[in-house]
Amino acid sequence: MRNSKNKLALFGALMVGGLTLMAIFAPLIAPFNPSDIDIEDALLSPSRAHIFGTDHLGRDLFSRIIFGARISLSIGFVAVGISVLIGLVIGSVAGYYGKSIDTILMRFVDIMLCFPSFFLILAVVAVLEPNIINIMIVIGITSWMGVARLIRAEILSLKEREFILASKAIGASDLRIIVRHLIPNAIAPVLVSAVLGVAAAVLLEASLSFLGLGVQPPTPSWGNILMEGKASLGVCWWLMFFPGFFILITVLGYNLLGEGLREYFNPKKKI
């Protein structure tokens, strides 16, 4: 069973690595400029010239999906980075100091968890201008609660260990103990959560862009490519199939990689 999970994790890592390389080298891979309009070639089906076909403005769909990977994955990485940073700060402070500080911070976490995340994001994005930076920030500041609870639980179990007590005995500051000793020893489950969080952030971005509240055209992202293709769904299947497929393999790849990391960091498997 464990070997099969390792193979799935390796498969997920290969998928994630391939998508990341595709995004990095998009200008070298894409055969066309993703913004070039050619009305005469509008809504062409997949062919040798346009392997994923073209959209309603004659833009090459393959090129737009490759450049869209840059936007979608960048939003995922930055949003998860913001959420992990916020979660680490709140969770480590709550776990280390405990008592009233822990109670106040954890009740704040509970309040945030009471709001349906997607509708909270919709409300915030509706007020702000829908652009890439705002989408990154909004997703990040509405998805840190799980990280905070994870890091708090780990620090609660670590702060009474001998090496922490020894650090206190030699006069190490609270900040040094948290940053140099507690967080590095509690980071494993956070890494797993971060990997899974990238998949969730990509889905959120795609959902917002599909609703017209995310990345705005002509900048390509997988979500707004889907939005532009929905009007021709009954005739031009490729406009929805290919961006949907790339969202699927991205989410699948990060989920498989996350599950593999969870298995690797599981202490019961190392006994």
Scan for tokens 């890592």, then name that residue.
13
Instruction: Please return the burial class of 34, using the count of CB atoms within 10 Å of its CB with bins 0-12, 13-18 and 19+.
Output: buried
DSSP 113-127: HHS-HHHHHHHHHHH
The pLDDT of residue 1 = 46
The pLDDT of residue 236 = 87
Contact 149, 109 (CB under 8 A): yes
Residue 122 maps to which CATH number? 1.10.3720.10
* Closest-CA residue to 201 (of 106, 82, 67, 61): 82
In this predicted model, what pLDDT tens digit does every residue of 195-254 receive, in sequence order?
999 999 999 889 888 888 888 888 889 988 998 888 777 788 899 999 999 999 999 999
Contact 240, 229 (CB under 8 A): yes
- Alpha helices of the chain — where are they, by DSSP H? 2-24, 26-29, 61-97, 99-114, 117-127, 132-141, 145-158, 162-169, 174-176, 183-186, 188-210, 222-229, 238-265
The pLDDT of residue 3 = 53
The pLDDT of residue 268 = 56
* Closest-CA residue to 58 (of 72, 41, 46): 41
Residue 186, both tokens: 């509690």
Contacts of 93 (CB under 8 A, 6+ apart): 101, 105, 178
The pLDDT of residue 99 = 86
Residue 128, both tokens: 């702000």
The pLDDT of residue 60 = 93
Residue 207 to residues 10, 135, 174, 227, 234: CA-CA distances in angstroms?
A: 28, 11, 41, 9, 21
Q: For residue 54, list its beta bridge partners.
A: 60
The pLDDT of residue 20 = 93
In this predicted model, what pLDDT tens digit does every residue of 49-61 receive, in sequence order?
899 999 988 999 9
**Collapsed DSSP state (helix, strand, coil) of residue 218:** coil
Ranges in the chain, pLDDT < 70:
1-5, 267-271
* Overall number of domains in the chain: 1
The pLDDT of residue 217 = 82
Scan for tokens 């006994």, then name that residue.
271
The pLDDT of residue 2 = 53
Identify the domain containing residue 218 by its residue range. 2-270
